[in-house]
Amino acid sequence: MDVTARQFEDLIGAYALDACEPDEVAALDAYVDEHPEIAAEVERLREAAAALGAAGAVRPPVGLRDRMLHVAGERVSAVSARDALQAETERFDALLGTLADGDLDAATHNGLSVRDLVSHVEAIDRAFVGEADRTRYQLIGAAEVAQITAETLPEHAGESFAETVTRFRRTRAYLVGLADRVAPEKRLAGYTRDDTLVIRAFETWTHHDDIREALGREETLPAPAVIRAMTELSIRSLPLAMAVRGTAHSHRIARLVLTGAGGGEWTFACAPGEAAGGAPDVVIRVSVVDWCRRVADRIEPDAMPIEVDGDAELAHDVVRAANAFAGL
């Protein structure tokens, strides 16, 4: 909806009282952003609305303050993309150090052996590192990942696992170092520098978990701050993911509440390029670990315990689209 000055004046009271229809709120928010001269009047009316609420201040229950502070302590601050990748690299490297010869041929989720999975991680790292010197990027999507893997694994078929690990460590160190050598705005294979590093951290966790599961070992998780970085990237990509899947919903808003350490709450538009203002059409509550597994295509929607409040079809399309960019 396009808003005229007259329409905005007509709605300004309802807007300040949060009493507009959901489909109007995004347009009104955008109008305020585009017309700074009206910001003061909007703020003045919001002050008045807020003062209405002040008339009923009530002391919260005694335990609420402590509970809130406890939850805040569990939630995490932002971690840099470099630190996220470094942390997952260290966890992965530590796992590799525990593998016995008998573990190396175990089949993992995507059909590759443990040995080949490590080689696959190195090959994709190398492809991204190779992008650093390009002036025009070449997209590395799911199809390219499969192609690179198919082409490079035979090249290293005869090497020992120790050699594979050494190769992985060398390439990975170079990849982590891109944070210092490459400008943040440079695009690597179609992604910003920091998104690239988080994508690689995410894949490292995913394959860490593949190996862990193939060997029947106990689950371990990334640090909450690292999960948070991955989650934020996945949610930023969701509108595009829904468009790629052909299930974008224009002018529809979803709120994702991801529970557990590293989780949080995000409200987003369900189509690319749209603002995420107003009341959500659906609230989806799911564990942050299940969400990340869904993004990595390691769990089917039907196997995820999800609470949906609102438009169930929209929730279905959000969760279905989450794995749109998953590779091997």
Whole-angstrom CA distances from 66 to 74, 184, 265 are 13, 39, 20
Number of residues that bind another protein (CB under 8 A): 51
H-run or E-run covering 126: helix 114-131
- How many CB atoms neighbour CB 33 within 10 A? 11
CB of 19 to another protein, least distance (A): 4
Residue 259 structure tokens: 């529970």
Which residue, 46 or 316, is less far from another protein as judged by CB?
46
Q: Which window, 13-21, 131-139, 173-181, 198-206, contacts another protein (CB under 8 A)? A: 13-21
Which position among 1, 5, 35, 65 is part of the footprint of another protein (CB under 8 A)?
A: 65
Q: Which is nearer to another protein, 229 or 328 (CB)?
A: 229
Stretch that binds another protein, among 64-72, 83-91, 117-125, 186-194 (CB under 8 A): 64-72
Among 62, 77, 97, 183, binds another protein (CB under 8 A): 77
62 binds another protein (CB under 8 A): no
What the block records as the tokens of 203 is: 């894949």
One-letter-per-residue 3-state SS of 186-255:
CEECCEEHHHHHHHHHHHHHHHHHHHHHHCCCCCCCCCHHHHHHHHHHHHHCHHHHHHHCCCCCCCCEEE
Binding flag, residue 102, another protein (CB under 8 A): no
Report d(CA 194, CA 178) in Å as an integer: 9
- Angle in degrees, 0-180, between the axes of helices 193-214 and 161-181, rounded to the nearest 10: 160
Q: Tell me which residues in 257-316 interact with another protein (CB under 8 A).
A: 264-265, 279-280, 283, 309-310
Residue among 233, 229, 280, 224 nearest 257 (CA): 280
Q: Is 163 in the site for another protein (CB under 8 A)?
A: no
Q: How many residues does the chain have?
A: 328
The reply on whether position 75 binds another protein by CB under 8 A is: yes
Is 60 a binding residue for another protein by CB under 8 A? The answer is: yes
Q: Which of 2, 4, 6, 40 touches another protein by CB under 8 A? A: 40
Pick between residue 8 and residue 205 the one whose CB is nearest to another protein: 8
Closest approach, Cβ 263 to another protein, in A, equals 10
State which residue, 27 or 178, has the beta carbon closest to another protein: 27
Reading the block at residue 48, the tokens are 């008045």
- Candidates 5, 18, 141, 170; binder of another protein (CB under 8 A) is 18
Sheet holding 264-269, edge to edge: 264-269, 253-259, 282-287, 307-310
Least distance in angstroms from the C-beta of 225 to another protein: 11
Q: Which of 294, 290, 87 is CA-nearest to residue 208?
A: 87
Binding interface with another protein (CB under 8 A): 9-14, 16-21, 39-41, 43-61, 64-65, 67-69, 71-73, 75, 77, 264-265, 279-280, 283, 309-310
